[in-house]
Structure 1
C-alpha cells in the first residue's frame, strides 16, 4: 500500500501535543488538534452564564493548549501565521476528523486504560490506510494496541518525539510485532526527510533508548553529587559544554524538564525494570528521592514554577537573577561563580573527545566528577545492549539527538580509547558489560570502524563483528569527500570540492567562517572553474553555523591603524564577488545553516538560489557594531522590498523605508528560514530543508535542477531612491527617538547615515539609480563609521567580551 500524509490529527494539546501539531504545520501539513472537554466551568464562564454544553466551553482546553503553543518560547511555529494550519476541536464534537486523517498521533495522559479506550474509538472509524502512533514515553506500545483489530495493529507504532519537537532532532520509532514493515519504513522516511528528524529504531522496552539511558544514569549522578558535597553551581559548571552537553548541564536540565516530571518518570521506571540492577540501586537512593520529593511537595517544580534547583529572583531595581539551591540546607542563595583549573584548560579545545580525555585525567574536583560520571555512564550504556538496542549506534544517536550532546557514550569511549578506558573503568569499580570484554579480547579495539572522520561500521555484539552503517550513496558528506581525494583546491580559509555530476562545492572553514582574503580568493577560483568546466557551484559549511560575515578583528585593526585604504579595498572586493555571484551565467547556490549574519546574510542574498535549513537565524546586524551593511546588503534589501512596490504609480515609499530602516537599524534576526523569507532575506524561490544532514545534497540537486530548466541570470536592475524629502522625514523620526531616550546620540548619527543610504544620498528628488550608485554609498558610509571612535569601541568590546554595548 502506498502511504501519504496530507492531513493529520494530534490528540492531546499539552506541551508535547501542541509542539507536534506545530511541527506538522511548519512543514505545511493541516492538523486537527483535539482534546477532552472540561468537566467544570471556570469562574469567568460562570459569570457569562455558560454551561458545559456550550461550544466555547467544550473547546476551552484545546484552545488554551494551542494558545500556549503559539506563545511558547522558544517559538514552536516557524512563523505565527502557520498556526492557521492547526484547527482545534474536542473529542466529543470533532472526533470524525479521525476518518479523513492520514496520520493520528496520540499525546494524552500516561494512563494505559485511558489510552486503550481512545484507541478503541479510533479503531471504530479509522480509514484502512491511516497510520496511528503513540507518543508515550513509558507505557509499552504493544499494550496500548492490545485488543484492537488486525488492521489497526498493523498500522500502529510508537513515535516518541522529544521536547521541544521543533528543536530536538530525535524521533524514536517503536514498532510492535504486528506493525507492517512498510509502515515503519514510511514513517521513518517521512520523519527523516519531511520533519527533519534523526530516526532511531527502538525496541518496546521501558523508556525506550534515550530516556532509559538518561534516567538509568541520572539517579547515580545525583546520589554521587549529594554524597560528595558538590554544589549546584559546581555541577553545572562541570557537566555543561566542557563535556559536550548543552549549557543546561545537569540541574538546569532537570528544572527545564520539570522536577515533578523527573519524579514521575523515575517512580514509573523503577518497577518496570526489576532486572536492571545498575539502575535499581540508585533509583532507590533515599537521599535523591527525599530531595526530589521535598521539592515537589514545596511546589518547586523547576522553570514552570520559577523555582527548582534555581530560583528566579527580582532585585530591588527590577533586574532578574537566578539563585541556586543549597543542597544541604535547601535554601536559595545568590549563585556563586565557580572555577576549576581543569575546566579552564579545556574550554578552548574544539574536539569534545579531547576535552573529556583531559578532564578524566584531571586530579581536581571537576576531574573527579567527570571521571566518575563518565565511567558509570559508559558501563551502564554497555550493560543495556542488547536489551534496548542491538548496537552502540542507536544509543549514541539517541543521546546526541535527544539531549543535544556533542557525542554519545560509545563515541566518547572510542575517543578515550576503548581498551585503556575499559581497564580504568574496572579499576574504578565500573566494569564494562561482558560483550565489551569479548570485543576487546577478540582484537577489536573500537566500537566503530572509521574512514577518516566518517564512521563506516559499528560493532554488533550479537554477531560478534562489525556491520556497515547504511547511508544514501548520493548523500554529500564533506569528510567522506576529503577521504576520497575530491578536494580540487584548498587554502587555510576555504576548500573547493568536486561534488559530482558537474557541480563543485566551496566549503568555508575559518573561525566562525568569517570572511577574509583567502576565502574571497577561493570563491573567485571556484567561479572561474565553473565558468570553464562545470555546471554550477554550491557554497556551504560543515559546521553548525554558516557565517558571521566580515572579520571584525581585521576591520578594527585597520581602522585603529588608520589603514582605511585596506578597509575600502576589502569592501570593494566583497561587493565585486557578491555582484559577480548575482549575475553569474551559471547557478550559484548558497546552503546556509544556523546563523548567517551581516556579510553571511549578504552572501545569501547574492546567490542564484538559496537552499537553507529550516533553523536559519539570519539578519543584517552590522548596526550593533556601529556599522551599516556594505557588502551589497543595503542595496539588496532596497531592491527586494522597495523596488517592487515603487513600480506602481503613486505608491508612498515611506512605509517601506520605515520597514527597511527598522529591520536593519534594529539588527533584526530571523528566528527561522520562513521568517527570513518574510523579511526579504530569502526569496519566494529559495528552498528550505528540514534535515541539516541533507542540506548539501539538496543544494547540489538544486544546481542540477536549475541547469536542466535552462537557468538564466537576472537582468541588471535599477534601485529606487526616494531622495531628499524622504530623508528629511526619516531624520525627523530619528530625532524623536533620540529625544524620547530610545536611542543614544551616537545611535542617532548611525541611524541618519543608514537613512542617507536608504534614500539615495544627496538626491533632490526621487529617481531610479544604478546598483553601483547605492554600493558606492554603502562603502562611503561604512568607511566613515569605521573612522569613529565609538564604532571602534563597539567592535573591540564585542571582540573582547562577546557582549554588545550601546554608546
Structure 2
C-alpha cells in the first residue's frame, strides 16, 4: 500500500475545484479549499461599509464556491455533515495551509501563465513528498510545470476529473516524462480505493483520451447531420441506447454540458492538433456558433437544441431546433425501420452487424454505419498517440461517457476483420497497426473468455498481454458464461462466486421484487443448509439494486379484489427476508443505486450490508398509498429505536420513534449510503464501498470474514423490537394532526400516516415494552392489506403506473 494521503488542498473553488473538494470530503479526507482574494468591492459590500480587508470580503469568492457545493443538483455531497471536512480560505491569508497537503490539486482558470505562477508559489511552500496535480483539460501538463525543480516535476502530474466529480467514474491520470512512477502509483491507489474512481493512464496530448475520442465522435455526428439533412431528433434517436450510448445521445448531451462548453472544447482541440488528419471536424459549425451568440446554451438557459414548452396536452414538452432555420419545431418522434428491427437484440455485436448490412437501404442505418466507422477508425489512428494500451482507451470511453462498450471492444464484438474491411470499402482509414495485427493472424483486439476480455493486443510487443486481475472486481456475466450459474428463472439467478459463497442475483425489469425472485431466494436458503456453501451474497450488477415490489401486480390484484393473493405474497416476502436474517450461514447484502421499498427491505435483512457509496435507499411506499410490509417498519425500529433504548435505561425513546416515522412517512430517500446511515437504513457496522466495481468482491470477502470469525446466526427466539405503545401512538397522532391542519398533507395522507403510526408504535400496547419481531411484521401485513382495499390507494397506484409521478389525492 502506498503512503497514505491524509489531507488534500484544492486551489480554485470553481465548478471543478469545488466538486473535487466535495468528493474528497465525501471520502472522509479533510480538505482545504482556497481561491483568490477579491481586488475590488461589490456595490453591496460598499453599501455595508466593508473594505478589502474585511474577512467576509477576503473569502467572498471561495465562500461563493462553497455555496455552489451546498446547492448543487445533483448533490455534490454525500451528506450535509461532510461539509465539516471542508475548510475554506484564500491565497493571501491562508497560503500556509498548502504546506499541510499530501496532495495539492490545481483547478484554476485555464490560463497557462496563471497556472505557472501558482506552481511557483506551490513549490516554495509544499512539503517534500507532496503530490501536485492539475485538473486542466486544455493545457499540456508538462508546460504547467515548466521551470520548476527536478523534485517538483517528479511529484507533478495531471489528474483530469470529469464533471461532476462525485458521479463520473473516470479519472485520467497524466504523468509527464519527469513524473516519478511511484507518484503515479500512489495517486492511482488513492483514487481507486479512497475516491472510488476508475483510473486510466493517458499521455500528455490535447484533451487526453476520453474527450479526444468523444469530442471527435460528437463533432463528426453533428457535421454529418448538417451535410446530409438529419434532424436533431433523428440524430438522438440513432445515437442513444440503440448503439449502446446513454439516452442523452448527441444533442441532449450537448444541452446538458452546455453548448458553449461543447464549442469551447472543440475549438480548443482545433487549435491544439494541427497535425490531426480529421482536424476540420473540430471546427464549430455555424449553427452552433450562432446559438451561442444568441445565448441558447442548453439546459442552463432553458433552450438549446431542445426548448421546453408548455403545451396543453403536456405530452410534447421539448421542441427540437431546426438546424437550418434555427427555429423550434413541434416534435415529430422519428421512426426508422432499422431501429425497430434491432431494438430488442441484446447482443450489441449482432445489432451492429444488422445495422451495417442495411447501410445502403435504410437512412438510419446509413447514419449509424458512417459515424460509427469514423469513430472506430479514428480511435485506431490515435493509438499510441494518446495512450499506449487499447484497454485504456476503452475504459476511458466507458467510464467517461458511459457507453456500453469502448471502441476496440465494440469493434471486436461486431467482427474485427469484417469492420476493418467494411471501413476501408466505405472510405474510412484503418490504422496501419490494425492491418499489421490482422495480417499476423491476430483476429481480435482482445482475447475473450466466457463473455469477458481477459487479454489485450499490445502494440509494442505485438502479442496479447493478460489484463491485470483484481479479485475484488467480480463480473457476474463472465461467471454466468463460464458455467457458474447454478439456477435461473425470468427474474433471478443463483451464481457460484467461488470459495463456497453463493450469490442471489435479481434481473427482473427494474429488479422489481416478484414471486420468481422469492422462489429463487427460498432456493438459496435451501442451499445454505448444505455443507458445500458457507454463505450468501445478495447483489446484482444492473443499473439499480431494486425499485421495490412489483407495483403493477399489486395494483391488478387489488383492482380485482384478490386480497388473499396479496396477503400471501406479502407473507412470502416477510418469511423470505426473515429467512435471510436468521439463516444458518452469513448473508451479506450489497445494494447500489436505487434501493427502494422492498429493495431496501431486502438490503436491511442481511447480517451485514456492503453498500456502494452511491446507494439511494428509502422506504417509499407511502407514495402509492401503502406502508412498508416486508419488514421495513420492523427493521427501522430495530436499527434506530432499539440501540437508543439499549444504550441507557434513562433515554426517551420517542425522538427516535419520531425519526423513523418521519423517514418512512415522508418517503425519504438517502442521497448516498453515508446519508442512509444517518437516516438509520445502514447500521454503524455496515460498510460503504467507494468504488462500486469492488462492491460484490468486498461483499464476498465480508461473508468469508464472518465465517472465519466463527459465525453464529442470531437467535429468532430472542429477537425483539422496542415498541412505545399508546404513548407513542398518541404523540404521533398529534404530529399528524398538526401537519393536516397546516395543510402540509391531505386527508388521505393523514389516514395512511395513522396506519403507519399504529404499526411503528406497536398497536394497542398499554405501555412501552419489548415485542417479538414477528409481532411488528403481523401489524405491517395487516395495515398493508387494509390499504390495498382503499379506492384512493388504487388511484395512487394506477396514476404512478400511467404517469410515473405520485398522486396526492
Pairwise CA distance, 1:753: 2.2
Query: Whole-Å Cα distance in 2 between the matches of residues 786 and 377 of structure 1?
Result: 53
Q: Report if aligned partners of 2:472, 2:694 keep a CA contact under 8 Å in 1.
A: no
Q: Which moved more, 1:424-433 or 1:771-780?
A: 424-433
Pairwise CA distance, 1:765: 4.6
Which residue number corresponds to residue 753 of structure 1? 755
Pairwise CA distance, 1:210: 0.6
Which residues of 2 match residues 44-59 of structure 1 at below 5 A? 44-59=44-59
Pairwise CA distance, 1:374: 1.1
Partner residue of 2:783 out of 773, 781, 784: 781
Which residue number corresponds to residue 82 of structure 1? 82
Which residues of 2 match residues 514-593 of structure 1 at below 5 A? 514-533=512-531, 534-593=533-592
How many residue pairs are counted as aligned between the two chains? 803
Pairwise CA distance, 1:593: 1.3
Question: Cα gap change, 1:741/1:317 in structure 2, threshold over 3 Å: closer, same or farther?
Answer: farther
Query: Whole-Å Cα distance in 2 between the matches of residues 119 and 719 of structure 1?
Result: 59
Pairwise CA distance, 1:130: 0.7
Matched, 1:618 2:637: no
Q: Report if aligned partners of 2:349, 2:415 keep a CA contact under 8 Å in 1.
A: no
Query: Whole-Å Cα distance in 1 between the matches of residues 634 and 366 of structure 2?
Result: 56
Q: Which moved more, 1:590-599 or 1:795-804?
A: 795-804
Question: Cα gap change, 1:350/1:780 in structure 2, threshold over 3 Å: closer, same or farther?
Answer: farther
Q: Which moved more, 1:481-490 or 1:297-306?
A: 481-490
Instruction: Normalising by structure 2, report the TM-score.
Output: 0.93
Question: CA offsets, 1:486-544, max 9 Å, x none?
Answer: 44555554333443344333333333333344433433343344344243322211322
Query: Whole-Å Cα distance in 1 between the matches of residues 801 and 413 of structure 2?
Result: 32
Question: Cα gap change, 1:541/1:272 in structure 2, threshold over 3 Å: closer, same or farther?
Answer: same
Which residues of 2 match residues 86-125 of structure 1 at below 5 A? 86-125=86-125
Question: Cα gap change, 1:728/1:364 in structure 2, threshold over 3 Å: closer, same or farther?
Answer: farther
Pairwise CA distance, 1:97: 1.2
Pairwise CA distance, 1:263: 2.5
Question: Cα gap change, 1:113/1:422 in structure 2, threshold over 3 Å: closer, same or farther?
Answer: same
Question: CA offsets, 1:741-797, max 9 Å, x none?
Answer: 554554443333222222222345544322221111111122222233443444445
Q: Which runs of 5+ in 2 are unaligned?
A: none
Query: Whole-Å Cα distance in 2 between the matches of residues 28 and 476 of structure 1?
Result: 26
Matched, 1:442 2:440: yes
Which residues of 2 match residues 731-770 of structure 1 at below 5 A? 731=733, 733-734=735-736, 737=739, 742-770=744-772
Q: Report if aligned partners of 2:472, 2:696 keep a CA contact under 8 Å in 1.
A: no
Question: CA offsets, 1:74-132, max 9 Å, x none?
Answer: 01111112011111111111111111210011111111121111111111121111111
Query: Whole-Å Cα distance in 2 between the matches of residues 485 and 476 of structure 1?
Result: 15
Q: Which moved more, 1:320-329 or 1:577-586?
A: 320-329
Query: Whole-Å Cα distance in 1 between the matches of residues 747 and 343 of structure 2?
Result: 38
Q: Which runs of 5+ in 1 are unaligned?
A: none
Pairwise CA distance, 1:185: 1.3
Which residue number corresponds to residue 26 of structure 1? 26
Instruction: Normalising by structure 1, report the TM-score.
Output: 0.93
Which residue number corresponds to residue 281 of structure 1? 280
Give the aligned CA root-mean-square deviation in angstroms: 2.8
Which residues of 2 match residues 251-262 of structure 1 at below 5 A? 251-262=251-262
Which residue number corresponds to residue 222 of structure 2? 222
Q: Report if aligned partners of 1:673, 1:688 keep a CA contact under 8 Å in 2.
A: yes
2:457 match: secondary structure = strand
Question: Cα gap change, 1:252/1:475 in structure 2, threshold over 3 Å: closer, same or farther?
Answer: closer
1:277 match: secondary structure = coil
Pairwise CA distance, 1:572: 1.8
Question: Cα gap change, 1:4/1:439 in structure 2, threshold over 3 Å: closer, same or farther?
Answer: same
Q: Which moved more, 1:470-479 or 1:57-66?
A: 470-479
Question: Cα gap change, 1:535/1:317 in structure 2, threshold over 3 Å: closer, same or farther?
Answer: closer
Question: CA offsets, 1:437-481, max 9 Å, x none?
Answer: 333333433222210111011223343332221112464332343
Matched, 1:163 2:163: yes
Which residue number corresponds to residue 598 of structure 2? 599
Query: Whole-Å Cα distance in 1 between the matches of residues 759 and 178 of structure 2?
Result: 66
Q: Report if aligned partners of 2:528, 2:584 keep a CA contact under 8 Å in 1.
A: no
Question: Cα gap change, 1:41/1:320 in structure 2, threshold over 3 Å: closer, same or farther?
Answer: farther
Question: Cα gap change, 1:320/1:563 in structure 2, threshold over 3 Å: closer, same or farther?
Answer: closer
Question: Cα gap change, 1:294/1:509 in structure 2, threshold over 3 Å: closer, same or farther?
Answer: closer
Which residues of 2 match residues 3-42 of structure 1 at below 5 A? 3-42=3-42
Which residue number corresponds to residue 295 of structure 2? 299
Query: Whole-Å Cα distance in 2 between the matches of residues 401 and 2 of structure 1?
Result: 24
Query: Whole-Å Cα distance in 1 between the matches of residues 730 and 450 of structure 2?
Result: 61
Q: Which moved more, 1:342-351 or 1:132-141?
A: 342-351
Q: Report if aligned partners of 2:259, 2:292 keep a CA contact under 8 Å in 1.
A: yes
